[in-house]
Structures are given as structure tokens and as C-alpha cells.
Structure 1
């Protein structure tokens, strides 16, 4: 089974069309369809894997285990090397700043 076929199968199992999955992952229109003939960037594949709740290794056929770790991920909100996302889409910098202020109790620092 190819990566594209695996993505299509899991999407269908979870009740998503490929177009819906594409949107939930925050990708350009119909980009997943282009993966029939080309390999996606790891960032785009990771966005799809996150929406589907599987590992990128599973999508690539490197493992037969669908599940990703249920262990909570911990990151520092101040770490600029981490891309924070919500529902598969990156959180804009201005929203991150607002979140930081709220977490600090409304204080400006």
C-alpha cells in the first residue's frame, strides 16, 4: 500500500474526505492529491499525521503500528524553535503573544 493509499484509507475510516483532511491539516487546496506522484515535505506529512492521530512512520509504511504515543507533549511556550498548532494549523505569532500574556496573568513583560 502506498503512502497516498494509506492516508486515503485512514481518512475514510475517520469520516474525512481527502479534501476535509487537507483543510484540517492547514494545507493548500488539494495538495494531498498531488502526493500520488510526489513525496510531501515532512512538515506537511506531520500535519496530516497529527490530524489522523497516527505517526508519520505509519503513513510512510515504516511501521504497522498506527497509534502514536499518548504521553503528553511538553514544550516551553517561549521556545521559538517549536511551532505551536491548534487543530493542525500554526498559531499566528500575535495570538501566541496574547496567550503568553494570559498565562502570565495579564502582565506585560
Structure 2
């Protein structure tokens, strides 16, 4: 099983970015990401790294296998809203239902911004 550090390292390599550079671009100390080999990352720092890598925090944490690209701040906010809602009326929400909700939320926000 890949750790959060492994996922970040793999994505950084795919994008041709060193971990020190990635950390600096995310506003972190140069060796912060290396420390995640031994400890769990702080959520704000992990979010900054996810933003730099254009993926969701869920992907970095191994909660999903899809490298869902995050295009802008609104997309990150939609992801955060979906991440906060794991169940409804005591029933877990499936991945398919999350995708439907993602589309509804994005469609609503896009339509709202056109007015």
C-alpha cells in the first residue's frame, strides 16, 4: 500500500518536480515533505501540496485511486464540501453518488456565476 509520502513523491517525479521545490512552491519548509515518511501531514500543508500537484487531498491520502485534477479554487471548495459529507440519513454515500453530487454542485455554481 502506498503511503501519502509515496503518492506525493510519485506525482512529483511524473511532473519533473523535486520534493524540495514542491515544498517551497507550496509555501512549506524545504524538508517538510520528507518528514511525512514518519508522520502524518498537517491538513493545511497537505492541501497546499495537493493544490500544487493539481490533485485532491483524497488522492494523496489514498482514499481514491483517481487523480482527479483540481482546476481552480471553486473545484477545491466543491471537493471539500463532498469530503465533509460521507453519509446521508445514516447511509454511506457511494462513489457514484459523489460523482453525481459533484456534477450538480459544479453545474449550479457555473450557472449561478453566469447571471
Give the shorter-chain TM-score range.
0.5 to 0.7
Q: Give the Cα separation in 2 of the matches to 1:48 and 1:70.
A: 14
Structure (1 or 2) with the larger CA radius of gyration: 1
Q: How does 1:1-109 map to 2 (within 5 A)?
A: 1-70=2-71, 73=74
| Structure 1 consecutive aligned stretches of length 4 or more whose deviation exceeds 6 Å | none
Q: Give the Cα separation in 1 of the matches to 2:70 and 2:22.
A: 21
**CA drift at 1:69:** 4.6
Q: Give the Cα separation in 1 of the matches to 2:21 and 2:58.
A: 22
Q: Give the Cα separation in 1 of the matches to 2:72 and 2:50.
A: 16
Structure-1-length-normalised TM-score: 0.63
CA shift in 2, pair 1:71/1:7, >3 Å: closer
Unmatched tracts of structure 1, length 5 or more: 75-109
Structure-2-length-normalised TM-score: 0.60
Q: Give the Cα separation in 2 of the matches to 1:2 and 1:44.
A: 16
Q: Give the Cα separation in 2 of the matches to 1:32 and 1:71.
A: 23
| Aligned twin of 2:95 | none
Relative to total residues, which structure has the larger helix share, 1 or 2?
2
Q: Give the Cα separation in 1 of the matches to 2:35 and 2:21.
A: 15
**CA drift at 1:72:** 6.2
**Superposition RMSD in Å:** 1.7
Aligned residue pair count: 74
CA shift in 2, pair 1:73/1:20, >3 Å: same
